Amino acid sequence: MVRVSCNIYTATLPRKFIINPNYINKKRYEHTSTSLNLCTTNTSKMALLSPSQVQIIKSTVPVLAQHGEAITAKFYTDLLTANPSLKNVFNTTHQATGHQSRALAGALYAYAANIDNLGALSPALELICHKHVSLFIQPAQYAIVGEFLLATMKTVLGAAATGEVLDAWGAAYWQLADIMIAKEEGLYKSTPGWDGWKDFTIVRKVAESGSGEICSFYLKPKEAGVEVPVFKPGQYVSVNVRVEELDGGVWQARQYSLSDASGKGYLRISVKKEMGEAREGYVSNILHGKSEGDVVRVSHPFGDFFFDREESGENGPVVLISAGVGLTCLTSILNGLAAEQGSRPVSWIHGARDLNARAFKKDVDTLVAANRNIRAVYFSSNPKEGEVEGQDYHIKGRVDMDKVGKDALFADNDQTQYFICGPTQFMLDVQAKLKSYGVPAERIKMELFGTGGVPRV
Protein backbone atom coordinates (compact mmCIF):
# COMPACT_ATOMS: atom_id res chain seq x y z
CA MET A 1 0.00 0.00 0.00
CA VAL A 2 1.37 3.39 -0.92
CA ARG A 3 0.84 6.55 1.05
CA VAL A 4 1.44 10.13 0.00
CA SER A 5 2.32 12.86 2.46
CA CYS A 6 1.16 16.45 2.56
CA ASN A 7 4.86 17.39 2.71
CA ILE A 8 5.83 20.93 1.71
CA TYR A 9 9.24 21.47 3.26
CA THR A 10 12.71 21.39 1.68
CA ALA A 11 14.75 23.59 -0.65
CA THR A 12 17.84 25.68 -1.04
CA LEU A 13 17.43 29.18 0.35
CA PRO A 14 17.59 32.10 -2.13
CA ARG A 15 19.90 35.07 -1.53
CA LYS A 16 17.06 37.54 -0.99
CA PHE A 17 15.52 35.76 1.98
CA ILE A 18 15.56 37.55 5.35
CA ILE A 19 13.77 36.01 8.32
CA ASN A 20 12.54 37.61 11.53
CA PRO A 21 14.44 35.85 14.37
CA ASN A 22 11.59 36.63 16.78
CA TYR A 23 9.54 33.98 14.99
CA ILE A 24 12.01 31.19 15.65
CA ASN A 25 12.31 28.97 18.69
CA LYS A 26 15.97 28.88 19.89
CA LYS A 27 17.29 28.72 16.33
CA ARG A 28 17.88 30.98 13.37
CA TYR A 29 18.49 30.17 9.75
CA GLU A 30 21.38 31.39 7.63
CA HIS A 31 22.02 30.76 3.96
CA THR A 32 24.72 30.60 1.35
CA SER A 33 24.26 30.59 -2.39
CA THR A 34 24.09 26.81 -2.49
CA SER A 35 22.78 25.41 0.77
CA LEU A 36 21.04 25.95 4.07
CA ASN A 37 22.91 25.91 7.36
CA LEU A 38 21.19 25.66 10.73
CA CYS A 39 22.93 27.67 13.47
CA THR A 40 22.15 27.57 17.16
CA THR A 41 21.59 30.90 18.85
CA ASN A 42 20.35 32.35 22.09
CA THR A 43 17.15 33.61 20.57
CA SER A 44 14.42 33.33 23.19
CA LYS A 45 11.47 31.04 22.76
CA MET A 46 8.94 32.27 20.24
CA ALA A 47 6.01 34.12 21.84
CA LEU A 48 2.49 32.90 21.29
CA LEU A 49 0.31 34.83 18.89
CA SER A 50 -1.22 37.94 20.40
CA PRO A 51 -5.03 38.00 20.84
CA SER A 52 -5.28 40.46 17.95
CA GLN A 53 -3.23 38.19 15.69
CA VAL A 54 -5.46 35.23 16.58
CA GLN A 55 -8.48 37.26 15.55
CA ILE A 56 -6.80 38.31 12.30
CA ILE A 57 -6.05 34.68 11.43
CA LYS A 58 -9.63 33.65 12.19
CA SER A 59 -10.90 36.51 10.03
CA THR A 60 -9.05 35.04 7.06
CA VAL A 61 -10.95 31.73 7.21
CA PRO A 62 -13.58 32.83 4.62
CA VAL A 63 -10.77 34.17 2.42
CA LEU A 64 -8.98 30.81 2.55
CA ALA A 65 -12.21 29.01 1.76
CA GLN A 66 -12.52 31.11 -1.41
CA HIS A 67 -8.88 31.53 -2.48
CA GLY A 68 -7.03 28.71 -0.68
CA GLU A 69 -6.45 26.54 -3.75
CA ALA A 70 -5.35 29.52 -5.84
CA ILE A 71 -2.80 30.38 -3.14
CA THR A 72 -1.40 26.87 -2.83
CA ALA A 73 -1.35 26.17 -6.58
CA LYS A 74 0.72 29.32 -7.19
CA PHE A 75 2.84 28.57 -4.13
CA TYR A 76 3.93 25.21 -5.52
CA THR A 77 4.48 26.60 -9.02
CA ASP A 78 6.69 29.42 -7.74
CA LEU A 79 8.51 27.18 -5.27
CA LEU A 80 9.37 24.52 -7.84
CA THR A 81 10.33 27.08 -10.49
CA ALA A 82 12.77 28.78 -8.13
CA ASN A 83 13.97 25.50 -6.63
CA PRO A 84 13.98 22.74 -9.27
CA SER A 85 15.85 20.45 -6.85
CA LEU A 86 12.56 20.14 -4.98
CA LYS A 87 11.37 17.83 -7.74
CA ASN A 88 13.50 15.21 -5.98
CA VAL A 89 11.20 15.47 -2.96
CA PHE A 90 7.68 16.19 -4.15
CA ASN A 91 5.33 13.62 -5.60
CA THR A 92 5.27 14.65 -9.26
CA THR A 93 2.05 12.77 -9.90
CA HIS A 94 0.15 14.63 -7.22
CA GLN A 95 1.67 17.91 -8.32
CA ALA A 96 0.39 17.27 -11.84
CA THR A 97 -3.12 16.32 -10.71
CA GLY A 98 -3.44 19.15 -8.18
CA HIS A 99 -3.94 16.76 -5.25
CA GLN A 100 -0.99 18.25 -3.37
CA SER A 101 -2.17 21.86 -3.63
CA ARG A 102 -5.72 20.91 -2.62
CA ALA A 103 -4.40 19.07 0.42
CA LEU A 104 -2.30 22.06 1.48
CA ALA A 105 -5.25 24.41 0.98
CA GLY A 106 -7.31 22.21 3.28
CA ALA A 107 -4.51 22.19 5.86
CA LEU A 108 -4.24 26.00 5.84
CA TYR A 109 -7.99 26.33 6.24
CA ALA A 110 -8.04 23.87 9.15
CA TYR A 111 -5.14 25.64 10.86
CA ALA A 112 -6.80 29.06 10.58
CA ALA A 113 -10.15 27.71 11.77
CA ASN A 114 -8.50 26.07 14.79
CA ILE A 115 -5.84 28.69 15.56
CA ASP A 116 -7.22 29.01 19.11
CA ASN A 117 -7.72 25.25 19.52
CA LEU A 118 -4.57 23.59 18.18
CA GLY A 119 -5.31 20.40 20.09
CA ALA A 120 -7.91 19.63 17.43
CA LEU A 121 -5.09 19.41 14.88
CA SER A 122 -2.95 16.97 16.86
CA PRO A 123 -3.88 13.85 14.83
CA ALA A 124 -3.15 15.61 11.52
CA LEU A 125 0.14 17.03 12.78
CA GLU A 126 1.19 13.62 14.06
CA LEU A 127 0.58 12.11 10.63
CA ILE A 128 2.43 14.88 8.78
CA CYS A 129 5.43 14.83 11.12
CA HIS A 130 5.87 11.08 10.67
CA LYS A 131 5.79 11.59 6.89
CA HIS A 132 8.34 14.39 7.14
CA VAL A 133 10.86 12.35 9.08
CA SER A 134 10.44 9.46 6.65
CA LEU A 135 11.59 11.93 3.99
CA PHE A 136 14.37 13.39 6.18
CA ILE A 137 12.92 16.91 6.25
CA GLN A 138 15.22 19.16 8.32
CA PRO A 139 14.44 22.21 10.52
CA ALA A 140 16.26 24.64 8.24
CA GLN A 141 13.99 23.71 5.36
CA TYR A 142 10.95 25.35 6.95
CA ALA A 143 12.30 28.82 6.22
CA ILE A 144 11.96 28.68 2.44
CA VAL A 145 8.38 27.45 2.68
CA GLY A 146 7.42 30.33 4.96
CA GLU A 147 8.85 32.91 2.59
CA PHE A 148 7.15 31.51 -0.52
CA LEU A 149 3.85 30.96 1.29
CA LEU A 150 3.64 34.55 2.56
CA ALA A 151 4.76 35.93 -0.80
CA THR A 152 2.05 33.94 -2.54
CA MET A 153 -0.61 35.12 -0.08
CA LYS A 154 0.42 38.71 -0.76
CA THR A 155 0.22 38.22 -4.54
CA VAL A 156 -3.08 36.32 -4.66
CA LEU A 157 -4.93 38.33 -2.01
CA GLY A 158 -3.68 41.71 -3.18
CA ALA A 159 -4.92 44.62 -1.10
CA ALA A 160 -6.51 42.24 1.41
CA ALA A 161 -3.02 41.07 2.42
CA THR A 162 -2.24 44.04 4.61
CA GLY A 163 0.89 44.32 6.69
CA GLU A 164 -1.04 43.22 9.77
CA VAL A 165 -2.43 40.17 7.99
CA LEU A 166 0.99 39.10 6.71
CA ASP A 167 2.60 39.71 10.12
CA ALA A 168 -0.10 37.58 11.77
CA TRP A 169 0.35 34.78 9.25
CA GLY A 170 4.13 34.99 9.59
CA ALA A 171 3.80 34.51 13.34
CA ALA A 172 1.21 31.78 12.86
CA TYR A 173 3.42 29.94 10.40
CA TRP A 174 6.37 29.88 12.77
CA GLN A 175 4.18 28.88 15.66
CA LEU A 176 3.14 25.81 13.69
CA ALA A 177 6.65 25.20 12.33
CA ASP A 178 8.02 25.31 15.87
CA ILE A 179 5.58 22.63 16.99
CA MET A 180 6.44 20.40 14.04
CA ILE A 181 10.20 20.89 14.32
CA ALA A 182 10.08 19.85 17.98
CA LYS A 183 7.97 16.79 17.21
CA GLU A 184 10.19 15.75 14.31
CA GLU A 185 13.31 16.20 16.41
CA GLY A 186 11.89 13.70 18.90
CA LEU A 187 11.13 11.22 16.13
CA TYR A 188 14.65 11.51 14.71
CA LYS A 189 16.08 10.85 18.17
CA SER A 190 14.01 7.66 18.37
CA THR A 191 16.11 6.12 15.55
CA PRO A 192 19.72 6.41 16.74
CA GLY A 193 22.33 5.44 14.19
CA TRP A 194 19.97 5.86 11.24
CA ASP A 195 21.01 8.94 9.28
CA GLY A 196 19.53 9.44 5.82
CA TRP A 197 18.54 6.91 3.18
CA LYS A 198 19.92 3.37 3.38
CA ASP A 199 20.49 1.08 0.41
CA PHE A 200 18.41 -2.10 0.60
CA THR A 201 18.63 -5.03 -1.78
CA ILE A 202 15.53 -6.75 -3.14
CA VAL A 203 16.30 -10.31 -2.04
CA ARG A 204 12.93 -11.75 -3.02
CA LYS A 205 10.01 -10.68 -5.22
CA VAL A 206 6.67 -12.50 -4.96
CA ALA A 207 3.35 -12.00 -6.74
CA GLU A 208 0.66 -11.94 -4.06
CA SER A 209 -2.43 -11.95 -6.28
CA GLY A 210 -3.37 -14.02 -9.30
CA SER A 211 -3.84 -10.86 -11.34
CA GLY A 212 -0.27 -9.77 -10.67
CA GLU A 213 -1.49 -6.39 -9.44
CA ILE A 214 0.11 -6.77 -6.01
CA CYS A 215 3.71 -7.84 -5.57
CA SER A 216 5.76 -8.19 -2.36
CA PHE A 217 9.38 -7.08 -2.13
CA TYR A 218 11.60 -8.52 0.60
CA LEU A 219 14.31 -6.00 1.46
CA LYS A 220 17.59 -6.45 3.29
CA PRO A 221 20.36 -3.89 3.95
CA LYS A 222 23.02 -3.84 1.25
CA GLU A 223 25.74 -2.65 3.60
CA ALA A 224 27.21 -5.09 6.09
CA GLY A 225 26.59 -4.12 9.68
CA VAL A 226 23.32 -2.28 9.02
CA GLU A 227 20.59 -3.89 11.08
CA VAL A 228 17.03 -4.35 9.92
CA PRO A 229 15.10 -1.88 12.10
CA VAL A 230 12.40 -2.91 14.54
CA PHE A 231 9.00 -1.39 13.79
CA LYS A 232 5.46 -1.30 15.10
CA PRO A 233 2.88 -3.37 13.19
CA GLY A 234 1.08 -1.04 10.82
CA GLN A 235 3.94 1.38 10.15
CA TYR A 236 5.57 2.17 6.80
CA VAL A 237 8.85 3.06 5.13
CA SER A 238 9.61 5.57 2.41
CA VAL A 239 11.19 4.08 -0.70
CA ASN A 240 13.24 6.36 -2.94
CA VAL A 241 13.98 5.52 -6.58
CA ARG A 242 15.52 7.36 -9.50
CA VAL A 243 13.13 8.23 -12.35
CA GLU A 244 15.21 9.04 -15.41
CA GLU A 245 12.17 9.86 -17.56
CA LEU A 246 11.27 12.92 -15.45
CA ASP A 247 13.12 16.19 -16.16
CA GLY A 248 16.34 14.46 -17.04
CA GLY A 249 16.24 12.32 -13.94
CA VAL A 250 14.84 12.99 -10.47
CA TRP A 251 14.46 11.04 -7.24
CA GLN A 252 10.94 10.15 -6.18
CA ALA A 253 9.92 8.86 -2.75
CA ARG A 254 6.71 7.12 -1.73
CA GLN A 255 5.55 5.63 1.55
CA TYR A 256 4.71 1.91 1.56
CA SER A 257 3.20 -0.07 4.41
CA LEU A 258 5.31 -2.81 5.89
CA SER A 259 3.28 -5.94 5.24
CA ASP A 260 4.88 -8.48 7.57
CA ALA A 261 5.67 -8.69 11.26
CA SER A 262 8.81 -7.14 12.69
CA GLY A 263 11.85 -9.16 13.72
CA LYS A 264 12.12 -11.47 10.70
CA GLY A 265 15.42 -10.20 9.36
CA TYR A 266 13.89 -8.30 6.44
CA LEU A 267 11.45 -5.53 5.58
CA ARG A 268 8.56 -6.46 3.31
CA ILE A 269 6.47 -4.03 1.30
CA SER A 270 3.59 -5.09 -0.94
CA VAL A 271 2.94 -2.80 -3.88
CA LYS A 272 -0.01 -2.47 -6.24
CA LYS A 273 0.79 -1.75 -9.86
CA GLU A 274 -1.23 1.01 -11.50
CA MET A 275 -2.99 -0.69 -14.38
CA GLY A 276 -3.50 0.96 -17.77
CA GLU A 277 -1.54 3.95 -19.03
CA ALA A 278 0.46 5.25 -16.08
CA ARG A 279 2.45 8.44 -15.59
CA GLU A 280 6.20 8.16 -15.74
CA GLY A 281 6.43 9.12 -12.07
CA TYR A 282 4.42 6.19 -10.76
CA VAL A 283 6.96 4.73 -8.37
CA SER A 284 4.77 1.66 -7.82
CA ASN A 285 5.10 0.70 -11.48
CA ILE A 286 8.84 1.34 -11.41
CA LEU A 287 9.14 -1.02 -8.44
CA HIS A 288 7.15 -3.68 -10.29
CA GLY A 289 9.77 -3.50 -13.02
CA LYS A 290 12.64 -4.20 -10.64
CA SER A 291 14.16 -7.63 -10.08
CA GLU A 292 15.74 -9.58 -7.26
CA GLY A 293 19.22 -8.17 -6.68
CA ASP A 294 18.25 -4.59 -7.52
CA VAL A 295 18.82 -1.88 -4.91
CA VAL A 296 16.42 0.78 -3.63
CA ARG A 297 16.84 3.51 -1.02
CA VAL A 298 14.77 3.04 2.15
CA SER A 299 13.98 5.15 5.22
CA HIS A 300 13.62 4.02 8.80
CA PRO A 301 10.04 2.86 9.57
CA PHE A 302 7.65 5.53 10.83
CA GLY A 303 3.90 6.09 11.06
CA ASP A 304 1.27 6.91 13.66
CA PHE A 305 -1.07 4.08 12.57
CA PHE A 306 -0.09 0.92 14.44
CA PHE A 307 -1.32 -1.71 16.87
CA ASP A 308 -0.51 -0.90 20.50
CA ARG A 309 -0.93 -3.86 22.83
CA GLU A 310 -1.36 -1.61 25.84
CA GLU A 311 -4.43 0.04 24.36
CA SER A 312 -6.40 -3.19 23.96
CA GLY A 313 -5.37 -5.02 27.11
CA GLU A 314 -3.94 -8.51 27.30
CA ASN A 315 -6.80 -10.18 25.43
CA GLY A 316 -8.79 -7.31 23.94
CA PRO A 317 -10.22 -8.29 20.52
CA VAL A 318 -8.76 -6.80 17.35
CA VAL A 319 -10.83 -6.29 14.20
CA LEU A 320 -8.97 -5.63 10.93
CA ILE A 321 -11.16 -4.24 8.14
CA SER A 322 -9.81 -3.46 4.67
CA ALA A 323 -10.63 -3.12 1.00
CA GLY A 324 -8.29 -3.79 -1.91
CA VAL A 325 -4.61 -3.07 -1.32
CA GLY A 326 -5.54 -1.46 2.00
CA LEU A 327 -4.92 -4.87 3.55
CA THR A 328 -1.13 -4.51 3.51
CA CYS A 329 -0.64 -2.60 6.77
CA LEU A 330 -3.24 -4.82 8.44
CA THR A 331 -1.35 -7.92 7.29
CA SER A 332 1.57 -6.73 9.41
CA ILE A 333 -0.72 -6.47 12.43
CA LEU A 334 -2.31 -9.87 11.74
CA ASN A 335 1.04 -11.63 11.36
CA GLY A 336 2.33 -10.01 14.52
CA LEU A 337 -0.72 -11.10 16.51
CA ALA A 338 -0.49 -14.65 15.15
CA ALA A 339 3.17 -14.84 16.16
CA GLU A 340 2.17 -14.17 19.77
CA GLN A 341 0.25 -17.46 19.80
CA GLY A 342 -2.13 -15.97 22.33
CA SER A 343 -5.86 -16.20 22.81
CA ARG A 344 -6.75 -12.67 21.73
CA PRO A 345 -9.77 -12.82 19.37
CA VAL A 346 -8.97 -11.45 15.91
CA SER A 347 -11.32 -10.83 12.98
CA TRP A 348 -9.98 -10.32 9.46
CA ILE A 349 -12.53 -8.67 7.14
CA HIS A 350 -11.48 -7.93 3.58
CA GLY A 351 -13.17 -6.87 0.38
CA ALA A 352 -11.80 -7.49 -3.11
CA ARG A 353 -13.07 -7.52 -6.66
CA ASP A 354 -12.66 -11.28 -6.99
CA LEU A 355 -10.38 -14.14 -5.95
CA ASN A 356 -7.80 -13.18 -8.56
CA ALA A 357 -7.43 -9.70 -7.07
CA ARG A 358 -7.29 -10.82 -3.42
CA ALA A 359 -3.77 -10.79 -1.98
CA PHE A 360 -2.50 -12.97 0.88
CA LYS A 361 -5.56 -15.25 0.92
CA LYS A 362 -3.53 -18.44 1.30
CA ASP A 363 -1.49 -16.88 4.09
CA VAL A 364 -4.58 -15.70 5.96
CA ASP A 365 -6.33 -19.04 5.51
CA THR A 366 -3.25 -20.79 6.94
CA LEU A 367 -3.33 -18.55 10.00
CA VAL A 368 -7.07 -19.14 10.48
CA ALA A 369 -6.58 -22.92 10.28
CA ALA A 370 -3.74 -22.83 12.81
CA ASN A 371 -5.28 -20.37 15.29
CA ARG A 372 -8.73 -20.91 16.77
CA ASN A 373 -8.84 -17.27 17.88
CA ILE A 374 -8.53 -15.89 14.32
CA ARG A 375 -11.46 -15.75 11.91
CA ALA A 376 -11.75 -14.35 8.38
CA VAL A 377 -14.66 -12.90 6.41
CA TYR A 378 -14.09 -12.35 2.68
CA PHE A 379 -16.30 -10.12 0.52
CA SER A 380 -16.14 -10.31 -3.29
CA SER A 381 -17.87 -7.53 -5.17
CA ASN A 382 -17.72 -9.31 -8.53
CA PRO A 383 -16.75 -12.99 -8.16
CA LYS A 384 -15.84 -14.70 -11.39
CA GLU A 385 -17.56 -17.75 -12.78
CA GLY A 386 -16.29 -20.84 -11.01
CA GLU A 387 -15.55 -19.16 -7.69
CA VAL A 388 -17.15 -21.04 -4.82
CA GLU A 389 -19.07 -19.23 -2.07
CA GLY A 390 -17.84 -20.34 1.34
CA GLN A 391 -14.45 -21.28 -0.07
CA ASP A 392 -13.20 -18.48 -2.31
CA TYR A 393 -15.33 -15.85 -0.60
CA HIS A 394 -17.99 -15.72 2.09
CA ILE A 395 -20.30 -12.87 1.05
CA LYS A 396 -21.00 -11.47 -2.41
CA GLY A 397 -20.91 -7.69 -2.61
CA ARG A 398 -18.94 -4.87 -1.06
CA VAL A 399 -17.88 -4.93 2.58
CA ASP A 400 -21.00 -4.48 4.73
CA MET A 401 -20.74 -4.43 8.53
CA ASP A 402 -24.37 -5.51 8.91
CA LYS A 403 -23.61 -8.69 6.97
CA VAL A 404 -20.50 -9.38 9.03
CA GLY A 405 -22.54 -9.48 12.21
CA LYS A 406 -21.82 -8.01 15.63
CA ASP A 407 -20.38 -11.29 16.92
CA ALA A 408 -17.47 -11.14 14.48
CA LEU A 409 -17.08 -7.43 15.26
CA PHE A 410 -16.97 -7.89 19.05
CA ALA A 411 -18.97 -4.67 19.25
CA ASP A 412 -20.12 -5.37 22.80
CA ASN A 413 -16.57 -5.70 24.14
CA ASP A 414 -15.28 -2.36 25.42
CA GLN A 415 -11.67 -3.40 24.79
CA THR A 416 -12.05 -4.11 21.06
CA GLN A 417 -9.74 -2.12 18.78
CA TYR A 418 -10.72 -1.52 15.15
CA PHE A 419 -8.24 -0.86 12.33
CA ILE A 420 -9.59 0.24 8.95
CA CYS A 421 -7.74 0.83 5.70
CA GLY A 422 -8.97 1.40 2.17
CA PRO A 423 -10.44 4.20 0.05
CA THR A 424 -11.52 7.24 2.06
CA GLN A 425 -15.27 6.82 1.61
CA PHE A 426 -15.00 3.13 2.49
CA MET A 427 -13.30 4.01 5.77
CA LEU A 428 -15.82 6.72 6.60
CA ASP A 429 -18.74 4.37 5.91
CA VAL A 430 -17.27 1.63 8.13
CA GLN A 431 -16.47 4.13 10.86
CA ALA A 432 -20.02 5.51 10.79
CA LYS A 433 -21.50 2.01 11.01
CA LEU A 434 -19.27 1.04 13.94
CA LYS A 435 -20.24 4.23 15.76
CA SER A 436 -23.90 3.38 15.17
CA TYR A 437 -23.20 0.12 17.02
CA GLY A 438 -21.98 2.15 19.98
CA VAL A 439 -18.24 1.89 19.33
CA PRO A 440 -16.50 5.09 20.53
CA ALA A 441 -14.32 6.96 18.05
CA GLU A 442 -11.16 6.53 20.12
CA ARG A 443 -11.23 2.76 19.48
CA ILE A 444 -11.44 3.19 15.70
CA LYS A 445 -8.20 3.81 13.80
CA MET A 446 -8.11 4.62 10.10
CA GLU A 447 -5.18 4.81 7.71
CA LEU A 448 -5.20 6.79 4.50
CA PHE A 449 -3.19 5.97 1.38
CA GLY A 450 -3.43 9.23 -0.53
CA THR A 451 -2.79 12.95 -0.13
CA GLY A 452 -4.14 14.69 2.94
CA GLY A 453 -5.93 13.11 5.87
CA VAL A 454 -9.10 11.24 6.70
CA PRO A 455 -11.98 13.56 7.66
CA ARG A 456 -13.62 12.59 10.91
CA VAL A 457 -17.36 11.97 11.26
Which position among 111, 142, 282, 418 bears the catalytic label?
142
Give residue 247's region: left, alpha or beta (phi > 0; psi -120 to 50): left
- Between CA 375 and CA 365 the distance in angstroms is 9
Separation in Å, CA 142 to CA 21, 49, 331, 376: 13, 19, 35, 46
Helices (H), 28-121: 51-59, 61-82, 92-97, 99-113
3-class SS of residue 19: coil
Please name every residue paired with 394 in a beta bridge, in sequence order, or none if there are none. Answer: none
Separation in Å, CA 224 to CA 239, 262, 263: 20, 20, 18
- Between CA 296 and CA 293 the distance in angstroms is 10
Dihedral angle over CA of 151, 155, 157, 158, nearest 10 = 120
- Between CA 81 and CA 69 the distance in angstroms is 18
Q: Catalytic: 142?
A: yes
Q: Catalytic: 184?
A: yes
Give residue 453's region: left, alpha or beta (phi > 0; psi -120 to 50): beta
Do 149 and 75 form a contact (C-beta atoms < 8 A)?
A: yes
Which position among 184, 208, 213, 447 bears the catalytic label?
184
As annotated, the active-site residues are 142, 184
